[in-house]
Amino acid sequence: MESNLSDTCMVCPHLCDVDRTTSLGKCRATKQIKIASYQLHRGEEPVLSGTQGSGTIFFSHCNLKCVYCQNYDISEWGNGHYYSNEQVAEIMMLLQNNGAHNINLVSPTHYSLQIKEAIKLAKAKGLNIPIVWNSNAYENVEILQELDGLVDIYLTDFKYWNDNNAAKYSSAPDYAYHAKKAILEMYRQVGDLQIDNDTNLARKGLMIRLLILPENINGIESILNWISEDIGNMTYLSIMSQYFPTHRADEFPEINRVITHEEYSFALHVMEGLGFENVFTQKTSNLSD
């Protein structure tokens, strides 16, 4: 995979083949990094947020087009400001100096190569907290390989097993094919999640997030079976219940509601049956009966 930033963009599986200095691909991102916000974030899993917060950087735009995106003002509208790679490195240092336990790169995929340079610049300045790659898994293995040794923790979604659902709700019909390859590469690089006994903070490894969608649109049994068989049931999972209909969800009646207690419990039941024990649950109060 060609990684020269002067070439046309083939960074993610969409393979748009456009020059992002003059045209826009499916993610609508130019070549320069755009950031919506950066802050110490206390709402992540406890092993990431700790006591002082995760140093979160929210990148503008996204390479998936999820009709229910809960951050559509950032992902679809592209709200944010442009920064040079050097300025992004400075943001990382600022977050570290403010006490962040890690640098949490949210929706980084479409800026993978620029962020790689920013991480290198920050490390040269003394950045020494873990780098968290917080992505949707619709990524090319060859690009992830460029991050080998720079990223400490892969925090990735696995959204859908079924191609029709991936096409309908995220405009990525080959999502599962690429997500499986991407997650295996992530695991090859960092292995199972390691948590420091003294601080209870994640140091290195893989965690997979599963945002439970209505009507089991995820295909949760197939996803969990695959994780169990191809990676192992020691994998850390984060089962998320906070789905709510927003953005274009009202165009799809089957997802135009919060999930039920039964749908959330079903995911937990499948997970328990497969022997997963390393699980973070984020059961919110908005589940319906």
Residues near ligand SF4 (CB under 6 A): 9-12, 14-16, 18, 20, 25-27, 29, 63, 110
Q: Which residue is nearest to ligand SF4 (CB)?
A: 25
Considering the complex, what minimum distance in angstroms separates the CB of residue 64 from ligand SF4? 9
Please identify, using beta-carbon distances, which residue of 13 and 219 lies nearer to ligand SF4. Answer: 13
Beta carbon nearer to ligand SF4, 135 or 165: 135
What is the DSSP secondary structure assignment for residue 68, as one 8-state letter? T
By C-beta, is 11 or 155 nearer to ligand SF4? 11
Max CA separation in the chain (angstroms) = 53
Question: If phi over 0 gives left and psi between -120 and 50 gives alpha, with beta otherwise, what is residue 64?
Answer: beta
- Do 241 and 265 form a contact (C-beta atoms < 8 A)? no
CB atoms < 10 A from the CB of 279, how many? 15
Which of 194, 151, 154, 159 has its CA nearest to residue 176? 159
Output Rg (C-alpha) for the chain, integer angstroms: 18
Closest CB 27 distance from ligand SF4, rounded Å: 3
Closest separation between CB of residue 147 and ligand SF4, Å? Answer: 15
* Min CB(264)–ligand SF4 separation in Å: 32
Identity of the residue, 63 or 96, whose beta carbon is nearer to ligand SF4 in the bound complex: 63
| CB closer to ligand SF4 out of 9 and 270 | 9
CA atoms within 13 A on the CB side of 61: 19
